[in-house]
Amino acid sequence: MKNILIIDDEIHTCTLLRKILIKEGFDVDVTMSGSTALKMVKEKHYQVVFCDYRLKDKEKDGATLSREINLLNPHTAIIIMTGYPDVRIAIQFIRNGVYDYITKPLNAEQIVLLANKAYLHVNNIRDNNDPIATTVVTISTVVNAQGKLHESEHVFGNSSASKELHQQINLIAPTNYSVIIFGETGTGKESVARLIHSRSKRSTMPFVALDCGSLTNELAASELFGHQKGAFTGAINANTGAFQQANGGTLFLDEVANLSYNIQVALLRVMQERVVRPVGSSIEIPVDIRIIVASNENLPQAISQGKFREDLFYRLNEFTLTVPPLRNRLEDLPLFVETFVKETENELQRKSGPLSPELLAYFNTYSWPGNIRELKNVIRRACLLTPANDTIDLQVLPEEMIDLHKPVQKKVEKVNPPVQDNNLNLKAIAKQAEHEKIMTVLREVKFNKTKAARLMNIDRKTLYNKLQLLDIKFKI
């Protein structure tokens, strides 16, 4: 039975939610008292609880009640309802075990979506043996039942984390909701976005992907909104921006946190008004698009640091997906390895041998900082270096993975480091100091160039130029 408990001191809210959720097949109980709610939770198992943040019950407000329900049943998904959205409060809720929160006034479609999402989440926690096929990772081919390759951008795993992700994709894809996809570098965020698009009503229309991390402040407005001929120096021809290119379909903005504050303001206006104004033009052009964004950063934290607009976050955050890192779903590793080996065999037009037990054992102890992308590259390299039909062994691994005792960090090579001038002139001193500073920042962010550039308040192009000038090279 799909049991939901609604706790709110406003009777019309309880009535509305009960009516909406009963139509979706849920068994719904309601109460306006926090104390009564605790008794009900002790007597009956609820998979999902909707709880008002500001209950009039002096002894049991929403925050206290959510903690006590979580202690009684950690597997219950608690959703806080509040008319006072505050990202700091939201973060505190999550830390205290709350599954999600929703702002008032309530929207029926959002309520249904969130209830189903929470119910799937609870079921996956309680039943890790569910045989439903699951997650998405970035690759170009998958293996069918006959072991042959066919064109696709996804491969499905069997872990509980993969199952939940795929079920949530199926849930959100048919809607027109904006989606935020969180995940580490290399987990396949763009692949998830493409899958959402392919399963939506917009699947026959364009899917346009834009890497915001590669955009300078000067280029961002033109790339997003387009520009007129002569709008600025170098604008020899008119340019159609990503919003117009994606009209009718889906626009995917990767690393959205890298957009400047001014561009964030413009993006918010486009989302609200659904019109774009190309740079240098006075004409507003209507656009009909779905927006999906991705980030490997904590956006609520970026908001608290003043790097990301809170109103833009709430506009984008109609639904959130998190792509799990490879180290959290190692049970999917054999399938991923098999798929990448077959894909590489197809690419090289020759048969590869089996992976040695030692190599497979190492794969299961390695932390995979580059996630699925790193695994795919390692397999392709290993198959290339190993003669046809020979066993693939440890010696074909990249240098940074050879240490068997611990996961190895990305290895840094200093090729011709800056030479100290014997006279210690100012240029030599400055060059050495710049070299050391860049290396320190790169190590702090695990050699993520986008993050490093942002911390040093420069764009990525400037960072690349400095890396080349100072002869700094490192293996990824």
The CATH code of the domain that includes 199 is 3.40.50.300
Q: What is the mean pLDDT of residues 178-201?
A: 92
Asked whether residue 144 carries a pLDDT value surpassing 70, the answer given is no
Q: What is the mean pLDDT of residues 444-449?
A: 77
CATH of the domain at 381: 1.10.8.60
Of 366, 471, 354, the residue nearest 412 (C-alpha): 471
Q: How far is CA 45 from CA 2, 167, 366, in A?
A: 10, 23, 40
Same domain membership, residue 60 and residue 186: no
For the ranges 44-58, 203-217, 311-325, 410-424, the lowest mean pLDDT is seen at 410-424
Q: Phi first, then psi: what are they for 306, rounded to 5°? A: 80, 20
Structure tokens at 129: 């043996």
Q: Phi first, then psi: what are they for 35, rounded to 5°? A: -65, -40
Q: Counting beta carbons within 10 angstroms of the beta carbon of residue 432, is it exposed (0 to 12), middle (13 to 18) or buried (19 or more)?
A: middle
Residue 7 in any domain: the answer is yes
Residue 167 in any domain: the answer is no
| Residue 184 contacts residue 153 (beta carbons within 8 Å) | no
Same domain membership, residue 16 and residue 81: yes
Asked whether residue 425 carries a pLDDT value surpassing 60, the answer given is no
For the ranges 166-170, 197-201, 211-215, 315-319, the lowest mean pLDDT is seen at 211-215
- The residue with tokens 């806080």 is 80
How far apart are the C-alpha atoms of 161 and 18, rounded to whole Å? 30
Of 401, 426, 451, which residue constitutes the final position of a domain?
A: 401
Residue 227 pLDDT level (bands cut at 50, 70, 90): confident
pLDDT of 414: 45
Residue 252 pLDDT level (bands cut at 50, 70, 90): very high
Q: What is the mean pLDDT of residues 277-292?
A: 90
Same domain membership, residue 338 and residue 317: no
Residue 472 identity (one-letter amino acid) = I
Residue 19 in any domain: the answer is yes
Residue 36 in any domain: the answer is yes
How far apart are the C-alpha atoms of 200 and 202, rounded to whole Å? 5
The DSSP code for 9 is S
- The residue with tokens 């979506």 is 113
Residue 87 pLDDT level (bands cut at 50, 70, 90): low
Same domain membership, residue 278 and residue 195: yes
Of 377, 401, 425, which residue constitutes the final position of a domain?
A: 401
Task: Find the helix or strand (DSSP H, E) in which 80 lies.
Answer: strand 77-82
Q: What is the mean pLDDT of residues 344-361?
A: 90
Residue 53 pLDDT level (bands cut at 50, 70, 90): confident
Asked whether residue 345 carries a pLDDT value surpassing 50, the answer given is yes
Same domain membership, residue 340 and residue 373: yes
Same domain membership, residue 337 and residue 313: no
Same domain membership, residue 389 and residue 313: no
Q: Produce one character per residue of 289-311: b if its CB has 16 or more CB atoms within 10 Å, e if not.
A: bbbbbbbbbebbebbeeebbbbe
pLDDT of 323: 92
Cis-peptide into 105, omega within 30 deg: yes
Query: What DSSP assignment string belongs to 138-189?
Result: --SEEE-TTS-EEE-S-----SHHHHHHHHHHHHHTTS---EEEE--TTS-H
Residue 150 in any domain: the answer is no
Residue 156 in any domain: the answer is no
The DSSP code for 130 is -
| Residue 163 contacts residue 124 (beta carbons within 8 Å) | yes
pLDDT of 454: 77
Residue 159 in any domain: the answer is no
pLDDT of 90: 65
Residue 147 in any domain: the answer is no
The DSSP code for 459 is -
Range of the domain at 258: 173-322
Of 175, 252, 173, the residue nearest 206 (C-alpha): 252
Asked whether residue 405 carries a pLDDT value surpassing 70, the answer given is no
How far apart are the C-alpha atoms of 401 and 375, rounded to whole Å? 11
pLDDT of 238: 73
Of 274, 290, 322, which residue constitutes the final position of a domain?
A: 322
Residue 429 pLDDT level (bands cut at 50, 70, 90): low
Same domain membership, residue 207 and residue 290: yes
CATH of the domain at 432: 1.10.10
How far apart are the C-alpha atoms of 161 and 30, rounded to whole Å? 31
Same domain membership, residue 59 and residue 86: yes
Which residues, 6+ apart, have CB-to-CB distance to 282 below 8 Å? none
Number of domains in the chain: 4
The length of the chain is: 476
For the ranges 33-42, 54-63, 221-230, the lowest mean pLDDT is seen at 54-63
pLDDT of 138: 36
Q: What is the mean pLDDT of residues 330-352?
A: 90
Task: Find the helix or strand (DSSP H, E) in which 22 lies.
Answer: helix 11-23
Q: Where are the alpha helices (DSSP H) in 234-273?
A: 242-245, 261-273
Q: What is the mean pLDDT of residues 56-67?
A: 76
Residue 150 pLDDT level (bands cut at 50, 70, 90): very low
How far apart are the C-alpha atoms of 106 and 82, rounded to whole Å? 9
Residue 415 pLDDT level (bands cut at 50, 70, 90): very low
Q: How far is CA 112 from CA 4, 5, 15, 119, 414, in A?
A: 12, 14, 15, 11, 55
CATH of the domain at 100: 3.40.50.2300
Own/partner pairs for 82-85, CB < 8 Å, 24+ apart? 82/52, 82/53, 82/54, 83/53, 83/54, 84/53, 84/54, 85/314
Same domain membership, residue 283 and residue 179: yes
Structure tokens at 314: 């709430």
- For a pLDDT cut of 70, what percent of the chain falls above it? 81
Same domain membership, residue 317 and residue 180: yes
For the ranges 114-123, 183-192, 198-207, 261-270, the lowest mean pLDDT is seen at 114-123
For the ranges 38-42, 197-201, 416-420, 454-458, the lowest mean pLDDT is seen at 416-420
Same domain membership, residue 73 and residue 95: yes
